[in-house]
Structure 1
Amino acid sequence: MTTTTAPAPTAQAAGRPAGRPRLVPWLLRLHRPALYVWAGLVLVLAAALAWLWGPLTDAAAAAWRQYDACDMNTRCSYDQDAILRYKDVYGYTTFAVTALPFVVAAWSGAALFGRELENGTARLAWVQSVSPARWLAAKLALPALLVAGGTGVLVTLHHLAWTAGRGRIDTAKPWTDDLTLHAGGPTTVAFALAGLTAGALVALLSRRALPALALALCVTGAVRAAASWALPHLWPAVVHRSGLGTGYTSGGLEVEHGLITTGGAHIADPGCGPTTIEECRRLYADLHATAFYTRTHPYSHYWPLQLTTTALVLALTGLFVLAAFRVLRRTTGPAAPAAGDTRAEAAKGTPARAGRA
Structure 2
Amino acid sequence: MNSITVSPEALQRFIQSAFTSQGLPEADAAQVARLMTEADLQGSDGHGVIRLPQYIKRIQAGGINKHPNIHVVQERAAMAVVDGDNGMGHLVVSRAVDIAIEKARTCGVAWVGTRYSNHAGPASLYARRPLEHDMLGLYFAVGNANHLPPWGGTDMLLSTNPIAAGIPTAEEPPVVLDMATTVAAYGKVKAKAKRGEQMPAGWMIDRQGKPLLDPNKAGEGFLLPIGDHKGYGLALIVGLLAGTLGGAAMGRDVIDFNADFKTTTNTGQAILVIDLAAFGDPALFKGAVDKLVRDIRGSDRLPGVERIWLPGEQSHEKRNRYRENGVPIAGGLVGDLHKLAADLGIAPLEEMALA
TM-score normalised to the size of structure 1? Answer: 0.26
Q: Which has the larger radius of gyration?
A: 1
TM-score normalised to the size of structure 2? Answer: 0.26
Identify, as 1 or 2, the structure richer in helix. Answer: 1
